[in-house]
Structure 1
Amino acid sequence: MSIDLDGLFQALAPLVDGVPMKDQAVGGAFRRLMSTLMNFDYVVVFAYRGKERPIDLYSTFDAKDHVLFVSLYQAGPYLLDPFYHAACAPKPGVWRMRELAPDRFFSSEYYRTYYVQTGLAEEIGFFVPISGEITVVLSLMRREATGTFSAAEFALLRRAEPLVAALVRHHWADLGRRFDAALAKTGRGRRKATHPPADGVWQHLNLTEREAAIIELVLQGHSSESIGLKLGISTGTVKVHRRNVYRKLGISSQTQLLSLYLRNLGQ
């Protein structure tokens, strides 16, 4: 696909005057800007602040897909998403999902049970930190029928990153207040919000801190070797902890582990 210069200039026009826009207008401007460069199937924009529930700022899904990609995601699966963990790091720039995913992500139960339902061939995200603790992630998605992004397309997205970052920082600079308002509605303060729903799951299931850390990395898609490197322990020790957790919970598979995890989120 060649660059649509006329469309590009039209997409840039409303951004020049600098008047702050609402979420739909900002997201729409991003979508139009990207569509002048290449084809894609979906756009979704989330804001992340630490371990809090992400705010959905914009998406192009129909009602059915919105439930899967947004509503269900916000209910808990985001805690296992490589994009969520990259946003918390943070890792500014443009990233392919497969660059951020743990070594066993694409064979993990989370991927097979949840992510595969999206029918995506690839997801690429612009990661834009707007404060010391808030990152906005603007995702471009392609379904299997469309195929993955080429190396040339990815390079073009990286060249567009400074413009996208400026757009986000200008129009979504006040997200801290919105996160605070969302917390106020739930009756939770910032101190409680530093503990994600997953923490409650581990406490409810009576796991030790080390067991919880290991089993959460398992659910994210890390191999025993990867977990050992992250936690500074041997692969054998990781495997012993995994066996102990499975015995303690009365389960024998990662499928049962994920089911238990999702069922207990928020308790």
Structure 2
Amino acid sequence: MSIDLEALFRAIVPMVGRSEARDDDTGTMFRQLMASLVRFDFVVVFAYQGSETPIDLYSTFDAEEKVIYVTMYQAGPFLLDPFYHTARAGRFGLFRMRELAPDRFFSSEYYRSYYMQTRLAEEVGYFIDAGDGVTVVLSLMRKEKTGPFPAAEFALLKKAEPLVAALVRENWKDLSRRFEASRRNGRKAGQGKPSGRQPENRAEAVWRDLKLTSRETAIIDLVLQGHSSESIGLKLNISTGTVKVHRRNVYRKLGISSQTQLLSLYLKTFE
């Protein structure tokens, strides 16, 4: 795809000399900028901070699509998303999903049960540091019929990263205040305590009442993310055999025999 310079310049004009814009305005500017460079089917922008539920800033989905890509995602599956874990790790830049996904992600139950519903050929994302521990991820998605982003288009998107970062930092300021407001609203609605230690990783809370040890919790969390036993062993510095023993013990404790049942039990905690 050749660069549409006229469309590019039209997209840049609103960014010049303007005060902070609304979410939809900023999202539209990003979409128009990207459309002048490459072809894509959807745009979605989330803000992440720690283990908080992501804030949806902008998307181009219709009502039915938004249920899958946003509403269902925010309800719990985001905790297993490679993009979420990359944001938590503080990595910034432009990445393809397949660069970030664990070694068994595309054969995991999470991928089969949730991600395949999106029917995407590929998702790429700009990970931008918005300050105060907030990462804004601006995703471009291509459907199966459109196909993955060619190498030349991905290289072009990489060159646009400084402009995308400037757009985010200029127009999405003080996002940490939105997360704090969300926490306060949750406490008012009885969804959390006004004080006390919050889990470092929200996924830990899922298994707390099921009497899993911290080691078992760490392993099961990685299993659901799509890591193989070998990958888990390397991440936790234990043997593959030890990983398998812990996994069998967890299945026995929970009275389950498959990853399908494990994921179902996991997601029920968010209902």
Gaps of 5+ in 1: none
Aligned to 1:61: 61
Q: Please list, as runs of the form range in 1=range in 2, the aligned pairs for 1:75-154 lying within 5 A after superposition.
A: 75-154=75-154
CA RMSD of aligned residues (A): 1.3
SS in structure 1 at match of 2:57:
strand
Give me the whole-angstrom Cα distance separating, in 2, the residues matched to 1:121 and 1:143.
5
Q: CA deviation at 1:18?
A: 3.0
231, 253, 264: which one aligns with 1:226: 231
1:182 aligns with 2:147: no
Compute the TM-score of the two structures, normalised by the length of structure 2: 0.95
Inter-partner Cα distance in structure 1 for 2:90 and 2:106: 22
Q: Structure 1 CA distance, aligned partners of 2:239 and 2:204?
A: 24
Task: Give the whole-Å Cα distance in 1 for the aligned partners of 2:123 and 2:196.
Answer: 33
Query: Is 1:202 aligned to residue 193 of structure 2?
Result: no
Q: What's the offset of the Cα at 1:19?
A: 1.6
Q: Which runs of 5+ in 2 are unaligned?
A: none
Query: CA offset at residue 199 of structure 1?
Result: 2.2
For 2:43, the aligned partner's letter is V
1:255 aligned to which of 237, 254, 260: 260
Which amino acid letter does the alignment assign opposite residue 47 of structure 2? A
Contact 2:80/2:225 (CA < 8 Å) preserved in 1? yes
Separation in structure 2 between the aligned mates of residue 204 and residue 142 of structure 1, nearest angstrom: 40
Shift of 1:195: 4.4
Runs of 4+ in 1 over 6 A off after TM superposition: none
More off after superposition, 5-14 vs 183-192: 183-192
8 Å contact from structure 2 (residues 199, 205) kept in 1: no
**CA drift at 1:190:** 8.1
**Contact 2:108/2:226 (8 A) holds in 1:** yes
8 A Cα contact 1:200 1:265, kept in partner: no
**Distance apart, 1:17 and its partner CA:** 1.2
1:58-114 C-alpha deviation (Å, 9 max, x unpaired): 000000000000000000000000000000111100000000000000000000000
1:30-50 CA distance string (max 9 Å, x none): 000000001100000000000
**Relative to structure 1, is the Cα distance of residues 194 and 241 closer, same or farther in structure 2, using a 3 angstrom cutoff?**
closer
1:238 aligned onto 2:239: no
Residue 137 of structure 1 and its aligned partner are, at CA, apart by: 0.1
Checking the alignment, whether the CA contact within 8 Å between 1:123 and 1:142 is kept in structure 2 is yes
Conserved in 2, the CA contact under 8 Å of 1:52 and 1:193? no
CA distance in 2: counterparts of 1:70 and 1:191, whole angstroms: 29
1:111-131 per-residue CA deviation (whole Å, 9 max, x = no partner) reads 000000000000000000111
The C-alpha deviation readout for 1:167-205, integer Å capped at 9, x for no partner, is 001111210111111111001458655545422211122
Within the candidate set 213, 218, 235, 2:218 is matched to 213
For these two proteins, the number of residue pairs brought into alignment is: 266
What does residue 161 of structure 2 align with?
Answer: 161
CA contact (8 A) 2:103 2:226 kept: yes
Q: Give the Å deviation of 1:243.
A: 0.5
